[in-house]
């Protein structure tokens, strides 16, 4: 190992403007979670000093098949900043992305803090003020998406942008596990899935986030947005694409990947 965590963090920051970089093997073993989160935290703190504001967190790797693919047995998380949010019905300029992919998710907005490192799904449910259909636009600063667990964690969970349906629903009475998802691109179905894809229930993913962040001394707070993980396969984006995500019983949202 020749690169320091600071070196890797700077390399990833520079990639946003300069283009993709090789996997971070000179400073991180593929499954080094502690080191990868250390790199992520360096950049989070840097970006906060630049005026970016944290508005929530995203859970990733919530599907068992994806965990197995990357050789890990846990989800990961990334930070959501205010300037990553796209308006429902809005546009994303392709010049702001590198190799983006869209995935449909369920999102929660919290109405109460979650400071307990032992938070359960039931405790999270009591803190949720609204549930929304959501789209996350993931991107990777690692060339050709040749990522390991450590690469994606260090790269802020391969995050880029996100949007929530303007209309949210109260949690009571919703079937999160059974909620069917359909994502279309230019009117054609491109991805389907179900709420149970996110650790069996999106509330399980949210509880994992709550426990993990509380244990790190960075607990989730009222007003935070939580993206609970993909409900179906990611779809690569091409300029001009119109992407719509519909989650049965919860709502729909859309954006255009173009100027």
Residue 65: predicted pLDDT: 66
Evaluate whether 70 touches 197 at the Cβ level (below 8 Å): no
Q: How far is it, in rounded angstroms, from Cα 27 to Cα 244?
A: 39
Global pTM exceeds 0.85: yes
Q: How high is the pLDDT of residue 73?
A: 77
Q: How far apart are CA 175 and CA 106, in angstroms?
A: 12
Q: How far apart are CA 49 and CA 244, in angstroms?
A: 35
| Nearby residues of 53 by Cβ (< 8 Å), 6 or more positions away | 81, 82
User: Whose structure tokens read 């389907």?
Assistant: 192
Q: In this structure, what token pair is assigned to residue 66?
A: 């994806």
Compute the distance between CA of residue 150 and CA of residue 146 in angstroms, rounded to an integer.
11
Residue ranges of the alpha helices (H) in 91-142?
Answer: 121-127
Which residues, 6+ apart, have CB-to-CB distance to 251 below 8 Å?
Answer: 132, 133, 165, 167, 168, 169
Here the CATH number for the domain that contains residue 95 is: 3.90.850.10
| pLDDT at site 259 | 84
8 Å CB contact between 129 and 109: yes
pLDDT at 117: 95
CA atoms of 220 and 201, how far apart (whole Å): 19
**pLDDT < 70 positions in the chain:** 1, 65, 69-71
Give pLDDT, residue 67. 73
Q: Which residues contact 85 (CB under 8 A, 6 or more apart)?
A: 55, 161, 162, 163, 164
Number of domains in the chain: 1
Residues 38/150, Cβ–Cβ less than 8 Å? no
Q: What is the domain range of residue 186? A: 5-257
């Amino acid at each position: 190992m020749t690169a320091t965590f600071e070196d890797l963090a700077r390399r990833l920051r520079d990639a946003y403007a300069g283009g993709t970089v090789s996997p971070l093997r000179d400073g991180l073993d593929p499954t080094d979670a502690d080191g990868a989160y250390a790199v992520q935290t360096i950049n989070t703190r840097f970006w906060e000093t630049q005026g970016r504001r944290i508005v929530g967190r995203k859970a990733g790797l919530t599907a068992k098949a994806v965990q197995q693919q990357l050789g890990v047995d846990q989800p990961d998380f990334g930070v959501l900043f205010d300037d990553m949010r796209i308006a429902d019905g809005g546009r994303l300029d392709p010049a702001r992305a590198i190799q983006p992919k869209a995935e449909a998710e369920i999102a929660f907005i919290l109405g109460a803090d979650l400071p307990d490192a032992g938070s359960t799904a039931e405790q999270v449910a009591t803190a949720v003020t609204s549930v929304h259909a959501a789209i996350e636009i993931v991107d990777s600063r690692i060339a050709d998406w040749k990522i390991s667990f450590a690469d994606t964690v260090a790269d802020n969970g391969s995050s880029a942008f996100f949007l929530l349906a303007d209309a949210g629903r109260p949690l009571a009475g919703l079937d999160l596990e059974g909620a069917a998802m359909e994502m279309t691109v230019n009117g054609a179905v491109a991805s389907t899935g179900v709420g149970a894809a996110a650790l069996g229930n999106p509330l399980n993913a949210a509880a994992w986030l709550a426990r993990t962040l509380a244990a790190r001394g960075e607990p989730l707070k009222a007003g935070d947005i939580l993206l609970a993980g993909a409900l179906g396969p990611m779809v690569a984006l091409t300029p001009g694409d119109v992407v719509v995500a519909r989650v049965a019983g919860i709502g729909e949202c859309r954006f255009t990947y173009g100027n």
